[in-house]
Amino acid sequence: MPHVRFATALSMPADFRFSEVPSHTVPSELVPAPSLGSLAAFSGTFRGQGFNTIFRPQNAKTPTALPEPVPSSDNILELNLTEEILSFSPPLGAVPNRGEVQGDVTLNGVPYLQVINDVTVPGQSVGIHFEPGLWMAVPALDDPAEGATVVRMASIPHGTTVQAQGESSVITGKPLIPPIDITPVVTAQPDKKIPFPSQNAAEGGTPRIPQDLGPCIAAGTITEALLTDPASLLRAHIAAQNITTTTVISISTAPAAPLFGGGASNIAFLLGDQAASAPNAQAVKMEATFWIETVEYELQVPVHQSVQSWSVIPVENEDGGHPVPEFVTPPLPAPVNAPRTIKVSVPQIQYAQQVFLNFNGLTWPHVSVATLVPATPVQVPSSAWA
Protein backbone atom coordinates (compact mmCIF):
# COMPACT_ATOMS: atom_id res chain seq x y z
CA MET A 1 0.00 0.00 0.00
CA PRO A 2 2.63 2.58 -0.99
CA HIS A 3 0.01 5.29 -1.63
CA VAL A 4 -1.07 5.32 2.03
CA ARG A 5 0.65 7.64 4.48
CA PHE A 6 0.99 5.79 7.77
CA ALA A 7 0.58 7.76 10.99
CA THR A 8 -1.06 7.33 14.37
CA ALA A 9 -4.70 8.02 13.57
CA LEU A 10 -5.91 9.04 17.02
CA SER A 11 -4.06 10.85 19.75
CA MET A 12 -4.81 12.65 23.00
CA PRO A 13 -3.90 16.31 23.58
CA ALA A 14 -0.41 16.63 25.02
CA ASP A 15 -1.66 18.04 28.32
CA PHE A 16 -4.49 15.51 28.85
CA ARG A 17 -4.07 13.12 31.80
CA PHE A 18 -6.68 10.85 33.37
CA SER A 19 -6.83 11.26 37.15
CA GLU A 20 -9.20 11.75 40.07
CA VAL A 21 -11.02 15.06 40.38
CA PRO A 22 -9.82 16.56 43.70
CA SER A 23 -12.39 16.69 46.49
CA HIS A 24 -10.68 19.67 48.16
CA THR A 25 -8.30 22.47 47.27
CA VAL A 26 -5.20 20.29 47.58
CA PRO A 27 -4.54 18.62 44.19
CA SER A 28 -4.76 14.84 44.33
CA GLU A 29 -1.70 12.80 43.43
CA LEU A 30 -1.65 11.19 40.02
CA VAL A 31 -2.69 7.54 40.21
CA PRO A 32 -0.13 5.25 38.55
CA ALA A 33 -1.36 3.81 35.28
CA PRO A 34 -2.33 0.13 35.63
CA SER A 35 -0.58 -2.44 33.48
CA LEU A 36 -1.96 -2.94 30.00
CA GLY A 37 -1.09 -6.64 30.19
CA SER A 38 -1.70 -8.32 26.84
CA LEU A 39 -2.70 -4.98 25.29
CA ALA A 40 0.84 -3.60 25.59
CA ALA A 41 1.65 -4.92 22.11
CA PHE A 42 -1.03 -2.63 20.64
CA SER A 43 1.35 0.22 19.88
CA GLY A 44 1.98 2.21 16.72
CA THR A 45 0.49 1.45 13.31
CA PHE A 46 0.08 -1.89 11.55
CA ARG A 47 -0.81 -2.66 7.94
CA GLY A 48 -1.77 -5.82 6.15
CA GLN A 49 -4.10 -7.83 3.99
CA GLY A 50 -7.07 -10.08 4.60
CA PHE A 51 -10.39 -11.44 3.44
CA ASN A 52 -13.98 -10.50 4.28
CA THR A 53 -17.32 -12.21 3.65
CA ILE A 54 -20.80 -10.86 4.32
CA PHE A 55 -24.28 -11.94 3.27
CA ARG A 56 -26.20 -8.72 2.56
CA PRO A 57 -30.01 -8.48 2.49
CA GLN A 58 -31.46 -8.14 -1.02
CA ASN A 59 -34.66 -6.14 -1.45
CA ALA A 60 -36.68 -5.75 -4.66
CA LYS A 61 -37.06 -2.01 -3.93
CA THR A 62 -33.30 -1.47 -4.05
CA PRO A 63 -31.86 -4.45 -5.96
CA THR A 64 -28.12 -4.94 -6.37
CA ALA A 65 -27.17 -4.80 -10.04
CA LEU A 66 -25.32 -7.94 -11.11
CA PRO A 67 -23.74 -8.79 -14.48
CA GLU A 68 -26.09 -11.77 -14.73
CA PRO A 69 -29.43 -10.91 -13.06
CA VAL A 70 -30.62 -13.33 -10.40
CA PRO A 71 -34.39 -13.28 -9.78
CA SER A 72 -36.01 -13.62 -6.36
CA SER A 73 -32.85 -13.64 -4.29
CA ASP A 74 -33.15 -12.53 -0.66
CA ASN A 75 -29.39 -12.07 -0.16
CA ILE A 76 -26.13 -11.14 -1.84
CA LEU A 77 -22.84 -12.74 -0.75
CA GLU A 78 -20.15 -10.05 -0.91
CA LEU A 79 -16.52 -11.17 -0.93
CA ASN A 80 -13.66 -8.74 -0.35
CA LEU A 81 -9.93 -9.05 -0.65
CA THR A 82 -8.82 -6.36 1.78
CA GLU A 83 -6.02 -4.01 2.72
CA GLU A 84 -6.10 -2.70 6.26
CA ILE A 85 -4.55 -0.07 8.51
CA LEU A 86 -4.86 -0.53 12.28
CA SER A 87 -3.50 2.44 14.21
CA PHE A 88 -3.08 2.66 18.00
CA SER A 89 -2.70 5.79 20.11
CA PRO A 90 -0.67 6.06 23.33
CA PRO A 91 -2.29 4.45 26.42
CA LEU A 92 -4.96 6.39 28.29
CA GLY A 93 -3.33 5.96 31.69
CA ALA A 94 -5.29 5.58 34.95
CA VAL A 95 -9.05 5.64 34.20
CA PRO A 96 -11.02 5.63 37.50
CA ASN A 97 -14.24 3.61 37.73
CA ARG A 98 -16.45 4.19 40.77
CA GLY A 99 -18.14 1.24 42.45
CA GLU A 100 -21.02 0.85 44.91
CA VAL A 101 -20.51 -2.77 46.02
CA GLN A 102 -16.84 -3.52 45.45
CA GLY A 103 -15.46 -0.01 45.46
CA ASP A 104 -13.32 1.77 42.94
CA VAL A 105 -11.14 0.15 40.28
CA THR A 106 -8.76 1.69 37.78
CA LEU A 107 -8.69 0.75 34.10
CA ASN A 108 -6.17 1.46 31.37
CA GLY A 109 -6.58 1.23 27.64
CA VAL A 110 -5.50 2.01 24.10
CA PRO A 111 -7.55 3.99 21.54
CA TYR A 112 -7.49 2.61 18.00
CA LEU A 113 -8.72 3.28 14.49
CA GLN A 114 -9.28 0.48 11.97
CA VAL A 115 -9.70 1.32 8.27
CA ILE A 116 -10.29 -1.39 5.64
CA ASN A 117 -10.39 -1.09 1.84
CA ASP A 118 -11.69 -3.57 -0.71
CA VAL A 119 -8.98 -4.31 -3.31
CA THR A 120 -10.60 -7.28 -5.05
CA VAL A 121 -10.43 -5.58 -8.45
CA PRO A 122 -6.79 -4.72 -9.27
CA GLY A 123 -6.26 -0.97 -9.40
CA GLN A 124 -9.50 -0.20 -7.57
CA SER A 125 -9.67 0.55 -3.85
CA VAL A 126 -13.01 1.08 -2.12
CA GLY A 127 -13.45 1.86 1.58
CA ILE A 128 -15.67 -0.72 3.30
CA HIS A 129 -14.96 -0.31 7.03
CA PHE A 130 -14.11 2.50 9.46
CA GLU A 131 -13.99 1.71 13.17
CA PRO A 132 -12.85 3.94 16.01
CA GLY A 133 -12.71 2.30 19.41
CA LEU A 134 -10.93 1.43 22.62
CA TRP A 135 -9.18 -1.65 23.93
CA MET A 136 -9.40 -1.59 27.75
CA ALA A 137 -7.65 -3.69 30.40
CA VAL A 138 -9.98 -4.49 33.33
CA PRO A 139 -8.45 -5.71 36.61
CA ALA A 140 -9.62 -8.75 38.56
CA LEU A 141 -12.82 -8.05 40.49
CA ASP A 142 -14.28 -9.22 43.81
CA ASP A 143 -17.89 -8.27 43.04
CA PRO A 144 -18.65 -9.56 40.50
CA ALA A 145 -16.10 -12.34 40.86
CA GLU A 146 -14.23 -12.13 37.57
CA GLY A 147 -10.55 -12.43 36.81
CA ALA A 148 -8.62 -9.88 34.78
CA THR A 149 -10.24 -9.30 31.39
CA VAL A 150 -9.90 -7.15 28.30
CA VAL A 151 -12.72 -5.44 26.45
CA ARG A 152 -13.01 -3.97 22.97
CA MET A 153 -15.40 -1.06 22.62
CA ALA A 154 -16.13 -0.43 18.95
CA SER A 155 -18.34 1.88 16.89
CA ILE A 156 -19.31 0.89 13.34
CA PRO A 157 -20.85 3.57 11.06
CA HIS A 158 -23.55 1.21 9.74
CA GLY A 159 -25.30 1.74 13.09
CA THR A 160 -23.87 -0.77 15.57
CA THR A 161 -21.76 -0.40 18.70
CA VAL A 162 -20.27 -3.36 20.53
CA GLN A 163 -18.67 -4.16 23.85
CA ALA A 164 -16.84 -7.46 23.55
CA GLN A 165 -15.14 -8.82 26.66
CA GLY A 166 -12.86 -11.77 27.24
CA GLU A 167 -9.54 -13.11 28.45
CA SER A 168 -5.97 -13.47 27.22
CA SER A 169 -3.20 -16.02 27.55
CA VAL A 170 0.34 -16.60 26.29
CA ILE A 171 1.48 -19.76 24.50
CA THR A 172 4.82 -20.89 23.11
CA GLY A 173 5.18 -21.03 19.34
CA LYS A 174 2.49 -20.71 16.70
CA PRO A 175 -1.22 -20.51 17.45
CA LEU A 176 -3.69 -23.21 16.51
CA ILE A 177 -6.18 -21.28 14.36
CA PRO A 178 -9.50 -23.12 14.07
CA PRO A 179 -11.59 -23.23 10.87
CA ILE A 180 -14.52 -20.86 10.31
CA ASP A 181 -17.75 -21.77 8.48
CA ILE A 182 -19.59 -18.93 6.68
CA THR A 183 -22.78 -20.99 6.16
CA PRO A 184 -25.97 -19.33 7.52
CA VAL A 185 -28.15 -21.16 10.05
CA VAL A 186 -31.78 -21.01 11.08
CA THR A 187 -32.06 -18.38 13.80
CA ALA A 188 -31.90 -19.93 17.27
CA GLN A 189 -31.21 -23.35 15.67
CA PRO A 190 -27.44 -23.38 15.07
CA ASP A 191 -27.42 -27.02 13.95
CA LYS A 192 -29.69 -26.27 10.97
CA LYS A 193 -27.28 -24.96 8.31
CA ILE A 194 -28.67 -23.45 5.13
CA PRO A 195 -25.96 -23.38 2.42
CA PHE A 196 -26.35 -21.22 -0.69
CA PRO A 197 -25.07 -21.70 -4.27
CA SER A 198 -23.07 -18.46 -3.95
CA GLN A 199 -20.74 -20.31 -1.55
CA ASN A 200 -19.57 -22.47 -4.47
CA ALA A 201 -16.65 -20.55 -5.98
CA ALA A 202 -16.87 -22.23 -9.38
CA GLU A 203 -20.61 -21.69 -9.85
CA GLY A 204 -21.51 -18.63 -11.95
CA GLY A 205 -24.74 -16.67 -12.09
CA THR A 206 -25.31 -16.67 -8.34
CA PRO A 207 -26.21 -13.64 -6.16
CA ARG A 208 -22.60 -12.79 -5.33
CA ILE A 209 -20.04 -9.98 -5.61
CA PRO A 210 -17.84 -10.69 -7.54
CA GLN A 211 -20.30 -12.86 -9.42
CA ASP A 212 -17.65 -14.43 -11.66
CA LEU A 213 -14.78 -15.72 -9.52
CA GLY A 214 -12.94 -17.24 -12.48
CA PRO A 215 -10.14 -14.60 -12.50
CA CYS A 216 -9.76 -14.89 -8.73
CA ILE A 217 -9.59 -18.69 -8.86
CA ALA A 218 -6.95 -18.48 -11.61
CA ALA A 219 -4.93 -15.99 -9.55
CA GLY A 220 -5.33 -18.08 -6.39
CA THR A 221 -6.85 -15.17 -4.45
CA ILE A 222 -10.46 -16.30 -3.83
CA THR A 223 -10.78 -20.07 -4.06
CA GLU A 224 -13.18 -22.77 -2.95
CA ALA A 225 -10.84 -23.57 -0.05
CA LEU A 226 -10.98 -19.94 1.11
CA LEU A 227 -14.79 -19.84 0.97
CA THR A 228 -14.95 -23.14 2.86
CA ASP A 229 -12.64 -21.79 5.58
CA PRO A 230 -11.52 -18.11 5.53
CA ALA A 231 -9.16 -18.83 8.44
CA SER A 232 -7.05 -20.92 6.06
CA LEU A 233 -5.60 -17.60 4.86
CA LEU A 234 -4.16 -17.00 8.34
CA ARG A 235 -2.70 -20.48 8.65
CA ALA A 236 -1.09 -20.23 5.22
CA HIS A 237 0.53 -16.93 6.17
CA ILE A 238 2.31 -18.32 9.24
CA ALA A 239 3.14 -21.77 7.84
CA ALA A 240 6.75 -20.85 7.03
CA GLN A 241 7.27 -18.30 9.81
CA ASN A 242 9.32 -18.80 12.97
CA ILE A 243 6.92 -17.68 15.71
CA THR A 244 8.42 -17.90 19.19
CA THR A 245 5.44 -16.83 21.35
CA THR A 246 1.80 -15.90 20.83
CA THR A 247 -0.56 -13.86 22.99
CA VAL A 248 -4.14 -15.04 22.43
CA ILE A 249 -7.01 -12.61 23.09
CA SER A 250 -10.54 -14.02 22.78
CA ILE A 251 -13.52 -11.67 23.13
CA SER A 252 -17.28 -11.84 22.66
CA THR A 253 -20.34 -9.67 23.16
CA ALA A 254 -21.77 -12.70 24.97
CA PRO A 255 -18.76 -14.32 26.70
CA ALA A 256 -19.07 -17.81 28.10
CA ALA A 257 -19.76 -18.24 31.82
CA PRO A 258 -18.44 -17.45 34.33
CA LEU A 259 -17.67 -14.26 32.38
CA PHE A 260 -20.50 -11.93 31.55
CA GLY A 261 -20.97 -8.37 30.34
CA GLY A 262 -20.82 -6.70 26.96
CA GLY A 263 -23.35 -6.68 24.16
CA ALA A 264 -24.29 -5.22 20.78
CA SER A 265 -26.56 -2.24 20.18
CA ASN A 266 -28.23 -1.35 16.86
CA ILE A 267 -30.03 1.64 15.37
CA ALA A 268 -33.75 1.32 14.59
CA PHE A 269 -33.16 0.67 10.87
CA LEU A 270 -31.14 -2.45 11.63
CA LEU A 271 -33.66 -3.67 14.20
CA GLY A 272 -36.55 -3.26 11.75
CA ASP A 273 -40.16 -3.99 12.72
CA GLN A 274 -39.73 -5.53 16.16
CA ALA A 275 -43.44 -6.29 16.51
CA ALA A 276 -43.22 -8.46 13.41
CA SER A 277 -39.78 -9.84 14.33
CA ALA A 278 -38.52 -8.64 10.95
CA PRO A 279 -35.07 -7.06 11.31
CA ASN A 280 -33.38 -5.46 8.33
CA ALA A 281 -29.94 -6.68 9.43
CA GLN A 282 -29.62 -6.88 13.21
CA ALA A 283 -26.13 -7.50 14.56
CA VAL A 284 -26.86 -9.86 17.44
CA LYS A 285 -23.39 -11.04 18.39
CA MET A 286 -19.72 -10.41 17.70
CA GLU A 287 -16.84 -12.67 18.65
CA ALA A 288 -13.19 -12.46 17.71
CA THR A 289 -9.78 -13.90 18.46
CA PHE A 290 -6.59 -11.88 18.12
CA TRP A 291 -3.22 -13.59 17.93
CA ILE A 292 -0.31 -11.26 18.74
CA GLU A 293 2.67 -13.22 17.48
CA THR A 294 6.38 -12.63 17.98
CA VAL A 295 7.95 -13.46 14.61
CA GLU A 296 11.69 -14.01 14.37
CA TYR A 297 13.18 -12.94 11.04
CA GLU A 298 16.59 -13.94 9.74
CA LEU A 299 18.02 -10.94 7.90
CA GLN A 300 20.85 -11.19 5.41
CA VAL A 301 22.99 -8.08 5.88
CA PRO A 302 24.95 -7.31 2.72
CA VAL A 303 28.43 -5.87 2.57
CA HIS A 304 28.16 -2.33 3.90
CA GLN A 305 31.11 -0.01 4.06
CA SER A 306 29.40 3.15 5.34
CA VAL A 307 29.11 3.56 9.10
CA GLN A 308 27.57 7.03 8.99
CA SER A 309 24.13 6.50 7.51
CA TRP A 310 20.93 4.53 8.13
CA SER A 311 20.46 1.52 5.89
CA VAL A 312 17.46 -0.54 4.80
CA ILE A 313 17.81 -4.32 5.07
CA PRO A 314 15.60 -6.09 2.50
CA VAL A 315 13.48 -9.07 3.53
CA GLU A 316 12.70 -11.87 1.15
CA ASN A 317 8.93 -12.16 0.88
CA GLU A 318 8.50 -15.88 1.45
CA ASP A 319 4.77 -15.91 2.11
CA GLY A 320 3.14 -15.34 -1.25
CA GLY A 321 2.89 -11.56 -1.54
CA HIS A 322 1.74 -10.74 1.98
CA PRO A 323 3.35 -7.66 3.50
CA VAL A 324 6.49 -8.08 5.57
CA PRO A 325 8.11 -5.51 7.84
CA GLU A 326 10.80 -3.21 6.59
CA PHE A 327 13.97 -3.20 8.65
CA VAL A 328 16.48 -0.39 9.05
CA THR A 329 19.80 -0.35 10.84
CA PRO A 330 21.30 2.78 12.42
CA PRO A 331 24.87 3.85 11.66
CA LEU A 332 26.98 0.75 12.29
CA PRO A 333 29.88 0.61 14.71
CA ALA A 334 32.07 -0.78 11.93
CA PRO A 335 31.81 -1.69 8.24
CA VAL A 336 30.30 -5.06 7.28
CA ASN A 337 33.04 -6.59 5.15
CA ALA A 338 31.27 -9.88 4.46
CA PRO A 339 27.56 -10.84 4.32
CA ARG A 340 26.23 -11.94 7.66
CA THR A 341 22.95 -13.18 9.16
CA ILE A 342 21.24 -11.55 12.13
CA LYS A 343 17.95 -12.35 13.86
CA VAL A 344 15.31 -9.74 14.74
CA SER A 345 11.92 -10.31 16.40
CA VAL A 346 8.86 -8.17 15.61
CA PRO A 347 5.17 -8.29 16.57
CA GLN A 348 2.55 -9.49 14.10
CA ILE A 349 -1.22 -9.29 14.60
CA GLN A 350 -3.63 -11.84 13.16
CA TYR A 351 -7.34 -11.92 13.85
CA ALA A 352 -10.48 -13.82 12.96
CA GLN A 353 -13.82 -12.16 13.63
CA GLN A 354 -17.43 -13.15 13.19
CA VAL A 355 -20.43 -10.82 13.40
CA PHE A 356 -23.75 -12.63 13.33
CA LEU A 357 -26.57 -10.81 11.49
CA ASN A 358 -30.25 -11.72 11.74
CA PHE A 359 -32.65 -11.20 8.84
CA ASN A 360 -35.24 -13.25 6.96
CA GLY A 361 -35.37 -15.97 9.62
CA LEU A 362 -31.67 -16.84 9.38
CA THR A 363 -28.49 -15.94 11.22
CA TRP A 364 -25.78 -14.97 8.73
CA PRO A 365 -22.07 -15.06 9.65
CA HIS A 366 -20.08 -11.98 8.59
CA VAL A 367 -16.44 -13.12 8.68
CA SER A 368 -13.25 -11.03 8.60
CA VAL A 369 -9.65 -12.25 8.81
CA ALA A 370 -6.35 -10.41 8.37
CA THR A 371 -2.62 -10.48 9.06
CA LEU A 372 -0.96 -7.20 10.03
CA VAL A 373 2.70 -6.18 10.37
CA PRO A 374 4.33 -2.94 11.59
CA ALA A 375 3.69 -0.19 9.05
CA THR A 376 6.79 1.84 9.82
CA PRO A 377 10.38 0.60 9.52
CA VAL A 378 11.58 -1.58 12.39
CA GLN A 379 14.94 -0.51 13.79
CA VAL A 380 17.36 -3.38 14.18
CA PRO A 381 18.49 -3.39 17.84
CA SER A 382 22.18 -3.25 18.65
CA SER A 383 21.82 -6.63 20.39
CA ALA A 384 21.26 -8.24 16.98
CA TRP A 385 24.90 -7.54 16.11
CA ALA A 386 26.31 -9.16 19.21
Q: Which of 108, 98, 101, 96 is nearest to 145 (CA)?
A: 101
- Listed in sequence order, the residues at least 6 apart from 163 whose beta carbon sits closer than 8 Å to its beta carbon are 151, 152, 153, 253, 261, 262, 263, 264
Q: Which of 173, 154, 121, 118 is nearest to 370 (CA)?
A: 118
For residue 220, the model assigns a pLDDT of: 94
Give this prediction's pTM.
0.92
pLDDT at 8 over 80: no
Cis peptide before 377 (omega within 30 of 0): no
pLDDT at 18 over 80: no
CA distance 358 to 100: 37
In a domain, 167, yes or no: yes
For residue 385, the model assigns a pLDDT of: 72
In a domain, 182, yes or no: yes
Higher-confidence residue of 258 and 27: namely 258
For residue 29, the model assigns a pLDDT of: 62
308-334 average pLDDT score? 73
Question: Containing domain of residue 362, as a range?
Answer: 37-295+357-375
CA distance 218 to 56: 26
Higher-confidence residue of 8 and 366: namely 366
pLDDT, one tens digit per residue, over 175-229 is 999 999 999 999 999 999 999 999 999 999 999 999 999 999 999 999 999 999 9
In a domain, 313, yes or no: no
**Any bridge partners for residue 55, and if so which?**
77
pLDDT band at residue 1 using 50, 70 and 90 as cut-offs:
very low
Give me the number of domains the chain comprises.
1
* 3-class DSSP assignment, residue 232: helix
For residue 182, the model assigns a pLDDT of: 98
CA distance 81 to 209: 11
CA distance 292 to 175: 9
CA distance 136 to 47: 22
CA distance 30 to 340: 49
CA distance 209 to 76: 7
Mean pLDDT of the chain: 90
Per DSSP, 130 falls in state: E
pLDDT at 340 over 90: no
pLDDT, one tens digit per residue, over 282-300 is 999 999 999 999 999 998 8
User: Beta 189-193 vs 185-186: how paired, if at all?
Assistant: antiparallel
pLDDT at 114 over 70: yes
Give 323-343 as a 3 state SS string. Answer: CCCCEEECCCCCCECCCEEEE
For residue 7, the model assigns a pLDDT of: 57
Q: What CATH number should be reported for the domain holding residue 84?
A: 2.40.128.20
CA distance 315 to 302: 12
In a domain, 336, yes or no: no
pLDDT band at residue 16 using 50, 70 and 90 as cut-offs:
confident
In a domain, 308, yes or no: no
CB 304 within 8 A of CB 380: no
In a domain, 22, yes or no: no
In a domain, 174, yes or no: yes
Give the phi and the psi of residue 286 in degrees, each rounded to 5. Answer: -135, 135
In a domain, 147, yes or no: yes
CA distance 32 to 20: 11
